[in-house]
Structure 1
Amino acid sequence: MSVSGIAVHCYRSKKNKSIELTIVGDIMLSRGVDSYIKKSGYDHLYENMKDIFLEDDLTIVNLECPITEYSRGANKASRFVFKASADNAKAMKKAGIDLCDLANNHTMDYRSEGLKDTMDELARAGISYVGAGENDGEDMSYIFEKDGFRLGILAYSIFPPEGFVYNSDKANINYLLDYDGNKSDKIKTELENMKADFKIVYFHWGIEYERFASKMQKNLARYAIDNGADFVVGAHPHVIQESEVYKDKYIYYSLGNCIFDKQIQRGTDEGLMLRISIDKKNNVNIEERKFKINKGQPVMME
């Protein structure tokens, strides 16, 4: 259904009145991960997480590559130009992934055409997306509704698409153009306009391989909460960073990787899964579960 042009995904539960969601960090299905897929199959990547993903109301991942057959890559070093086949979208859906954050620095590695293909392939597989759209005028937020309770999600990348010329009339990610280190009218306006009972902001930010959040990350997270966000989470550093509570709201600066191949830097072979329960009074319960990544596959740690 649609309300004011925003897609609303409704779910009615006979049991738990809370919204149960799972959030993980970066999923990159190219390069070495593609080699693992060719050896062990698509489903192998999700073998240790699918039961968790399938039992919740909503599973959110950061998809760090386009799903496309488009051949013209962005103008950057080829080793950093990623893409994956359409069968990956089907495997993600089968594993219980419901929502892909596309606001990052790699989903436009094959330009607007590749991003458009990605959105189409995800939709075809039955997976929603946030943080990207057909053009700049499109609403790039996501609303999930359960038993009348509305969970709203916004996703932003502080990084522009790499090696690509910005075009507002074509498919784009939700790139945060106006953040000056202290404020962003875009974030403030979009949070104010979002009709939701609980608001999550997922940022693509920070410095790769740094284990502690930067001053910019802290300022931006707190700014989002000051302007209406109830929960802030981040990705991009490829390692787990710290979390904190600010004004009784949770901030997780980086969840690290989830499905990834690069394990040169210490810590890139691990990630953090958040299992979150939110009730109608906005009470939040969080279970943190760490995992290691072995040949692209997450393995839960006891």
Structure 2
Amino acid sequence: MRGRRSLPTPVTLFLCGDVMLGRGLDQILPHPSEPTLHESYMRSAVEYVALAERASGGIARPVAFPYVWGDALAALEQRRPAVRIINLETSVTRSDRPWPKGIHYRMHPDNVPCIAAAGIDCCVLANNHVIDWGREGLVETLGSLRRARIEVAGAGADLASAQAPAILPLAGEARVLVFAAATDDSGVPESWAAGADRSGVHRLPDLSATTVSHIAADVQRHRRSHDVVVYSLHWGGNWGYEISPEQRAFAHRLIDTAGVDVVYGHSSHHAKAIEIYQDRLILYGCGDFLNDYEGISGHDEFRDDLGLMYFPVIDAATGQLRELSLVPTRVHRLRVNRAEGVDRRWLLAILRRECGRFGCEVTDGADGAFAVRWGAHAA
């Protein structure tokens, strides 16, 4: 982690949607993987780069490791979050044995400095791409990230390690604990579930009260005073804005019963609603942040090229949300750019519509960001 300073109260976190550094993005980095794919749509990862170039213009290769983060780096430098957490939807491996499924994401282990270039502290791995290249690929992913001193959550050598939180120390005795899990409706097969003597991901059996009680026991086993608890959930389908009553009830129970401070949801390829419940943050779907979909048609009405950088400000003493700002982004030429003009206005309108259903108001904030208000602070 970066140098630690005295912890102010409150503490700022950085969260974002899915980060897919495989396929086309891996191909433009200094150490591209062997590009052969096992998809019906494409047979080579290089073709995804060609699609992006046809849509947006040439990309000189190889790019430097920070390139893909683009304008996100300036936003991170400006806000200086204490902890930076992403959902890494990519296996980091040299394995050439794909799991028999439709799409496989792989980044070469020598490209891990790309993740470090953004100062990422924790990669959550409970998702439907981390075992794309088999359990051998998972083992190499875990090792590659840990050698880079990047913490992981949601996958491991067995169930106990997959359920264990990433522990991110701050100044003094305060910490951020990051737990991560996935559900079957996000595309995680049952065979990927970690077991007592089997590697894999932390896969939830359901969203029942019983499941929450098990999560609560895990949280309480690790939690200390002044810990901020983030629970990452890879759940739901890729498209659509609906939040099911079951999902909402589960998110509320995580807060009420398990003592979670931030519910960090993802899987949807576009941003979904935000809810502030009991002064705790619920992100139902953070959307994609980095992908290689540029130039691919289909589902255009959801604008999967647009994303958000989420900067919640949490009271470390109470876990309550004090502020929330969102920086709108757009993937262009396989890098993150600030979303501006019509793109920015489109995203703001969607957020106002979806978050308004949950009592949140999204407005223009400082420095081109969006500000989220709730409760008595909303208009």
TM-score scaled by structure 1? 0.87
Q: Does 1:271 align with 2:302?
A: no
1:200-239 to 2 correspondences below 5 Å: 200-227=230-257, 228-239=259-270
- Picking from 267, 274, 284, the partner of 1:243 is 274
Residue 100 in 1 paired to residue 123 in 2?
yes
Aligned residue in 1 for 2:325:
287
Q: Does 1:86 align with 2:106?
A: no
Q: Shift of residue 260 of structure 1?
A: 0.6
CA 1:207–1:250: 2 relative to 1, 3 Å:
same
Deviation at 1:163, TM superposition (A): 8.6
1:76–1:163 contact (8 Å) kept in structure 2: no
Tell me the residue number matched to 1:296: 334
Aligned amino acid, residue 333 of structure 2: K
Q: Answer whether contact 1:135 1:172 (CA < 8 A) is retained.
A: yes
Tell me if 1:145 matches 2:169.
yes
C-alpha spacing 1:125/1:276, structure 2 compared with 1 (3 Å): same
Residue matched to 2:214 = 186
Which gives a bigger RCO, structure 1 or 2 (Cα 8 Å, sep 6+)?
1
Instruction: Give, in whole Å, the separation in 2 of the partners of 1:21 and 1:167.
Output: 28
Q: Is the 8 A contact 1:74 1:163 kept in 2?
A: no
Is the CA contact (8 Å cut-off) linking 2:22 and 2:91 kept in structure 1? no
Equivalent position of 2:97 in the other structure: 72
Identity among equivalent pairs (%): 25
Distance in 2 between residues matched to 1:143 and 1:275, nearest whole Å: 19
Deviation at 1:180, TM superposition (A): 4.7
Q: Structure 2: which amino acid aligns with 1:143? A: I
> Given the superposition, is the C-alpha separation of residues 181 and 267 from structure 1 closer, same or farther in structure 2, using an over 3 Å criterion?
farther
CA distance in 1, matches of 2:167, 2:194: 26
**Relative to 1, partners in 2 of residues 1:166 and 1:130: Cα closer, same or farther, differing over 3 Å?**
closer
Distance 1:15 1:166 in 2: 37
Deviations 1:167-197 (A, max 9, x none): 62232111112x2545414323222323143
- For residue 236 of structure 1, report the CA deviation from its aligned partner: 0.3
Shift of 1:129: 0.9
Give the CA deviation at 1:17: 4.7
Greater helix fraction, Structure 1 or Structure 2: 2
Distance 2:69 2:331 in 1: 11
CA contact (8 A) 2:192 2:201 kept: no
More off after superposition, 60-69 vs 43-52 = 43-52
Deviation digits for residues 102-121 of structure 1 (CA, Å, limit 9, x no counterpart): 01011011121111111111
Counterpart-to-counterpart distance in 2, 1:165 and 1:92: 24
RMSD over aligned CA atoms reads 2.4
Could you report, residue by residue, the CA deviation over 1:129-174 in whole angstroms, capped at 9, with x for unpaired residues? 1111111132521222222222222111013644956562232111
Q: How far off its partner does 1:11 sit? A: 6.4
Q: 1:94 to 1:219 in 2, by over 3 A?
A: same
Structure 2, unaligned runs of 5 or more: 33-60, 340-367, 369-379
Say which one has the larger Rg: 2
In 2, the alpha carbon distance for the partners of 1:167 and 1:132 equals 7
The letter for the 1-side match of 2:91 is P
CA contact (8 A) 2:194 2:201 kept: no
| Matched residue SS, 1:137 | helix
Tell me: CA distance 1:11–1:131, structure 2 relative to 1, closer, same or farther (3 Å).
farther
Distance 1:267 1:149, change over 3 A: same
